[in-house]
Structure 1
Amino acid sequence: MVPQRVSLLTIGAYDLPVLRSFYQKLGWEETSISSDNYAVFKTAGVLLSLFPIEELAMDANIEITHSPNAFRGVTFAINVDEPGHVDSVTEEIRQAGGRVVREPSDAFWGGRTAYFADPENNIWEVAWNPSAVFDERGAMISF
């Protein structure tokens, strides 16, 4: 049986130093396994890694077919504890150099949400979900 878990998310970075700097400006802590060629950030649930896209594609034996500005069809999410946190977190992201692609607003499903792009156009959602449940580490365990 395949374990039902997500342990590590890796973003293929076109410019690792720029992308790393952005996440550092958000105040995210890197792990001790980070190096000059690889960055790993702690999150509440999974580790987020940044790895040069050419090396990632070679490791996976696939061809890179898109530009850094293309939408990759994947979003990441930062879920927060209160509706107002969507606004304050989005502003912090803007100050760190993130490009807000959808300003904070109330969602049709009863929450509050905003979207931003990091320097390589990876799309993130900042969301408050009124039914979200977090564990003691801050990892979302249900919604």
Structure 2
Amino acid sequence: MKPRISMITLGVRDLERAVKFYGEGLGFPMMETSPGVAFFPLNGTWLSLYPREALAEDARVSPEGSGFESFTLAHNVQSEAEVDEAMARARAVRAGATAAKQPEKVFWGGYSGYFKDPDGHLWEVAYNPHFWVGPRDDQA
């Protein structure tokens, strides 16, 4: 088996609000799909949004939960300025995110900040000078 993550599905409380956040707020491209689910292609993987109750039912687990969910999602960018720009865009009133940690230089030599989407999923926006996944903008 080749290791890869092909799709990340987030259980959301309000699908319409979540679609607006990721599509309009963050600018993720959305595919036209059937009602009740949304898909965003993300350069090698997919982000899926599905109603939280229905996702929990499908996995046969309780939909209840709060606090830290034991994982974060990360969006790596090519500079500290891009971290600041992405964080500002996510926190925009129109987008609906809340800041969890303001961008700052971090112990591993990079620069990062965190925001929560409208359902509380933690996203890190990071610049890591030590590695990059994918082609650089100037090499695309």
Per-residue CA distance 1:30-86 (angstroms, 9 max, x = gap):
123x2320011111231000001111111112222314xx22111000000112111
Equivalent pair of 2:78/2:136 in contact (CA under 8 Å): no
State the distance in 2 between where 1:133 and 1:115 align.
Answer: 19
Relative to the length of structure 1, the TM-score reads 0.86
State the distance in 2 between where 1:131 and 1:110 align.
Answer: 8
Query: 1:55-134 to 2 correspondence within 5 Å?
Result: 55-67=54-66, 70-95=67-92, 96-134=95-133
User: Which amino acid in 2 is paired with 1:28?
Assistant: F
Gaps of 5+ in 2: none
State the distance in 1 between where 2:73 and 2:112 align.
Answer: 13
Alignment of 1:26 onto 2:26 = yes
Name the SS for the 1:54 alignment partner: helix
Question: In the superposition, relative to structure 1, how do residues 18 and 9 fare at CA in structure 2: closer, same or farther (>3 Å)?
Answer: same
State the distance in 1 between where 2:83 and 2:135 align.
Answer: 21
Aligned-residue sequence identity (percent) comes to 37
RMSD of Structure 2 on Structure 1 (CA): 1.6
Deviation of 1:137 (Å) = 8.5
State the distance in 2 between where 1:137 and 1:40 align.
Answer: 25
- Runs of at least 4 residues of structure 1 off by over 2 A? 133-138
User: Which amino acid in 1 is paired with 2:28?
Assistant: W
Equivalent pair of 1:44/1:137 in contact (CA under 8 Å): no
Query: Could you say which residue in structure 2 is the equivalent of 1:43?
Result: 42
Judge which range, 41-50 or 118-127, deviates more.
41-50
Q: How many residues align?
A: 134
Equivalent pair of 2:10/2:49 in contact (CA under 8 Å): yes
User: Which amino acid in 2 is paired with 1:22?
Assistant: F
Gaps of 5+ in 1: 139-143
